[in-house]
Amino acid sequence: MSAGWRTLLLRIGDRCPEYGGSADHKEHIFLLQCADQLPHKIPFFGVLIGLINLENEDFAKGIVDTTHANLQDALHNENRDRIRILLRFICGLMCSKVVLPNSIIETFEALLSSAATILDEETGNPSWQPRADFYVYCILASLPWGGSELFEQVPDEFERVLVGIQSYISIRRHFDDIAFSVFETDEGNSPNKKDFIEDLWERIQVLSRNGWKVKSVPKPHLSFEAQLVAGVSHRFSPISCPPPTISQSSSEIVKGQEKHEADLKYPQRLRRLHIFPTNKAENMQPVDRFVVEECILDVLLFFNGCRKECAFYLVSLPVPFRYEYLMAETIFSQLLLLPNPPFRPIYYTLVIIDLCKALPGAFPSVVVGAVHALFDRISNMDMECRTRLILWFSHHLSNFQFIWPWQEWAYVKDLPKWAPQRVFVQEVLEREIRLSYFDKIKQSIEDAVELEELLPPKAGPNFRYHSDEGKESTDGHRLSKELVGMVRGRKTQGDIISWVDEKIIPVNGAKFALDVVCQTLLDIGSKSFTHLITVLERYGQIISKLCPNEEMQLLLMDEVSAYWKNSTQMIAIAIDRMMGYRLISNLAIVKWVFSPANVDQFHVSDRPWEILRNAVSKTYNRIFDLRKEIQTLRKGLQAAKEASEKAARELEEAKSIIEIVDGQPVPSENPGRLRRLQARADKAKEGEVTTEESLEAKEALLARGLEESKELLRLLFKSFVEVLTERLPPISVDGDVPNLRAGDPNVNSAARDPEATTMEIDNENGGDNDSQLNGQNKKISHNVGELEQWCLCTLGYLKSFSRQYATEIWSHIAMLDQEIFVGNIHPLIRKAAFSGLCRPTSEGSHL
């Protein structure tokens, strides 16, 4: 690089302190090449290209043309992030006089026109409104980066764009994200609540009234305005948006499926999570908050997998104010985003850890404040979000020596066992033990000894046939000891099966045989996960022989639960591994989870839900993997066919070349070459046949898996409906749906037992006495509050499964409507079951 360019880059750095004047010029060159991965530095890149434009117009014109081609490709490939970043980039180029402002207006109007067409009933498809909303969002999101220049240079045309946006806002359908809210309150039911697009439009209107002044967007071009104005501005060619997808049916189900597909392709990028009170969070203008949020999300997006680099850029955004609280809220909003976070939760855990290390004097206290604020509202938190928060918090503490002011939460010990705050602390401690060991975690809460009651039992097996000298020896003890000897003697599975069939089943029955065999094999494999897997691999056929049906599989899970009653983790792992080896079916797991003993634990422990989540996710992961393998095999089969045809063609061509020898036609090719060609053709054909057979086998497995998933979905929803119908309070005579969170009179009357005793419960945290969820200072029936919480937890998990597997539900929606959701289904069950299919409208329709 010439000395002139080095000087230029250093001058920009010196005159734009937001980017650090001491930065190495080579780093700036690297960042220029990766402009789309550091979008918060787009103003800098714009200035750099603007200055290059003064000396090399062709180079700048090439950048403009390449950007146009990239934007066009991104639109047709539906690459959302690239569309958004490139629109911001061309605004940066316009600020530095590289792109004509009228070209920006034309681009905006093309996107607006496409958005309006999508909403048209005749020429478009309103089910694809998420795409239209995304186009308008991209326009609005780019205005803080170039709105002031457009207002100054082309005010009339810019006003026309704003009027167009206002027109679009007036005709689009309003969305309430109730089903996707972190906190389950009634606030979202208000028709005046703005959705994300309406909120952003209001922020832009405030920005417009303030003269398009944005503190959070650097203006490095102003320092070079005298030079940049002499450059030639280039035209950004018109863009074309992909045509709207026309609906193939007027069916409500088809429209709902199309809407779901559109939501998957164009999800809402951010659902704000206001954790801190206004007197704590940074005071900034609404549009500045939006810009910083966007920058934080961009860094999280482009540096996922590079945790340290991510933390570095998060703490060094080019804004003139502090933003630690906003950064925490934005990261937590992504961690708790429903239905799924953009990246694995572990990524956000590692980023938060690195931010605490990068800003040791500021960010740890912000995280502590966030945890306390979320803990105070845990009773209203969505069940899926609650689980994620437990997993994050326990992992986070494991990286900071499990240090936490537990004494501040010691009061939860006096709350009912089902109180959300008590359950939260209990689950966090249990997860910490998984990441460490019992004595370490017990020591970490020595300042709050009251919480020792919430610790799980010290992990260890509960072997029924343990041989103690003072213990009476039974048939079970004798047979268990004999089985151990057979295992140590390396007896085959066939020998052990014959022994069971001859020595145990005829005398004691199949259930007793399962008891002895399962308990003994689990004890042999109890030393570690590896030992367990080894035992299941070597002796799984014995268990499979003893558990040919669901009844016996249910007994098998009871045995696992009894043996590992002191270890929730090992119960989940053992059942998961048994399902993996097909010793237990997913349907049997669902039935076991919804058995009376486990149903009673729904609101006080995550154990049954963890097992159910594992079973359902493993089922659909198998289908996902099979589809991926089939796609690969189909490509491989096509390549194998082409290779086989090519080899056969070459062989035929070689055979067709003949010559006359002694008046007789004979092949002119060398016999050795013909043999090689024949061998190659045979091998290619064999490869084609083998690939085709593999494809047929995988397709058969997929068909079987899809049928299994359909049965799983049917049983899952049927089980939820049955247990909830038994316990939910009825609809009032006036048709009012009971409000479980407000201590609804119908709830009390439904569960009140005249023999039940009332109990005095201490006021928690000075909370509102109208709420019963954490057992406030009120004389209430213990069973009433517990029933409320059980119903809320179970409905919450039903909603979680609905969101997580919405695509599968849509595939079988007709079956569910005909077989499960028929008759007088409780409206709370229906609402939870269909909450994940799409966001409810303000009119209350879920389709």
pLDDT, tens digit, 9 for 90 and up, residues 549-578: 999 999 999 999 999 999 999 999 999 999
Whether residue 391 is contained in a domain is answered as yes
Distance CA 424, CA 421 (A): 5
Q: Residue 701's closest CA among 638, 633, 641?
A: 633
Whether the pLDDT of residue 61 is over 60: the answer is yes
Please tell me the total number of residues recorded for the chain in this structure: 847
38 with 129, same domain: the answer is yes
Determine, yes or no, domain membership for 815: no
Confidence of residue 675 (pLDDT cuts 50, 70, 90): confident
Domain of residue 583, residue span: 475-619
Asked if pLDDT for residue 736 goes beyond 70, the answer is: yes
Residue 759, φ and ψ in degrees, nearest 5 = -140, 145
pLDDT value at position 59? 85
Is the pLDDT reported for residue 670 higher than 90? no
pLDDT at 751: 36
- At residue 525 the predicted structure's pLDDT band, cuts being 50, 70 and 90, is very high
Please, are residues 325 and 281 in contact by the beta-carbon 8 Å criterion? yes
Can you give the pLDDT at residue 312?
95
Q: What share of the chain is helix, strand, coil (3-state, %, to 5)?
A: 70, 0, 30
In this structure, how many other beta carbons lie within 10 angstroms of the beta carbon of residue 378? 21
Same domain, 116 and 207: yes
Same domain as 261, residue 148: yes
For residues 641 and 604, state if they share a domain: no
The confidence band for 257, taking pLDDT boundaries of 50, 70 and 90, is confident
Q: For 592-631, what is each residue's pLDDT tens digit?
A: 999 999 999 999 999 999 999 999 999 999 999 999 999 9
Average of per-residue pLDDT values in the chain:
85
For residues 247 and 286, state if they share a domain: no
Report the relative pairing of strands 780-781 and 758-759 from DSSP bridges.
antiparallel
For the residues of 493-533, what is the DSSP string, one character each? HHHHHHHIIIIIHHHH-HHHHHHHHHHHHHHHT-S-HHHHH
Parallel, antiparallel or unpaired: strands 658-661 and 664-667: antiparallel
Mean of pLDDT values over 131-142 = 96
Last residue of some domain: 675, 697, 723?
723
Average pLDDT, integer, range 65-69: 90
Q: How many CB atoms lie within 10 A of CB 608?
A: 23
User: For the chain, what is the radius of gyration of the CA atoms?
Assistant: 33
Considering only 202-206, 382-386, 640-644, 650-654, which range has the smallest mean pLDDT?
650-654
Do the Cβ atoms of 455 and 441 come closer than 8 Å?
yes
What is the structure's pLDDT at 24? 42
Task: Check whether residue 224 and residue 89 sit in a common domain.
Answer: yes
Which residues, in sequence order, are bridge partners of residue 758?
A: 781
Residue 470 belongs to a domain: no
Cα–Cα–Cα angle for 310, 278, 212, nearest 5°? 70
Looking at the structure, do residues 324 and 442 belong to the same domain, yes or no?
yes
* Cα(322)–Cα(324) distance, integer angstroms: 6
Cα gap 46→35, rounded to integer Å: 10
Cα 164 to the center of its chain, rounded Å? 35
pLDDT beyond 50 at 506: yes
Determine the pLDDT at residue 206. Answer: 95
Q: State whether 376 and 283 are in the same domain.
A: yes
Query: Is the confidence at residue 769, as pLDDT, over 60?
Result: no
Q: Which of 723, 746, 762 is the last residue of a domain?
A: 723
Residue 15 has pLDDT above 80, yes or no: no
pLDDT at 430: 96
**pLDDT on residue 362:** 94
Position with higher pLDDT, 647 vs 32: 647
In the listed set 723, 747, 775, which residue is the last one of a domain according to the structure?
A: 723
CA distances for 305 relative to 300, 351, 359, 718, angstroms? 9, 10, 20, 40
Same domain, 402 and 365: yes
**Residue 97 forms part of a structural domain:** yes
- Domains identified in the chain, total number: 4
Q: What is the pLDDT at residue 770?
A: 38
Q: 193 is written with which tokens?
A: 């609540």
Mean pLDDT on 494-510: 92
Q: DSSP string spanning 60-125?
A: HHHHHHHHHHHHHHHHHHT-HHHHHHHHHHHHHHHHTTSB-HHHHHHHHHHHHHHHHHHH-TTTS-
310 and 401 assigned to the same domain: yes
Asked if the peptide bond before residue 339 counts as cis, ω within 30 degrees of 0, the response is yes
> CA–CA distance from 236 to each of 93, 185, 691, 731, 788 (Å)?
10, 47, 49, 61, 60
Q: How many CB atoms lie within 10 A of CB 502?
A: 10
Q: How far is CA 751 from the centre of its chain?
A: 36
Q: Count the neighbouring beta carbons within 10 Å of the beta carbon of residue 569.
A: 17
In a domain, 768, yes or no: no
* Three-class SS state of 297: helix
Residue 534 belongs to domain with CATH number: 1.25.40.180
DSSP secondary structure of 758-791:
EE--PPSTT--TT-TTTT-SS-EEHHHHHHHHHH
* Nearby residues of 26 by Cβ (< 8 Å), 6 or more positions away: none
Domain assignment present for 796: no
Considering the domain boundaries, does residue 466 fall inside one? no
Looking at the domain assignment, is residue 467 inside a domain? no
Residues 380 and 524 in one domain: no
Please give the average per-residue pLDDT across 300-314, as a whole number.
92
- Both 556 and 650 in a single domain? no
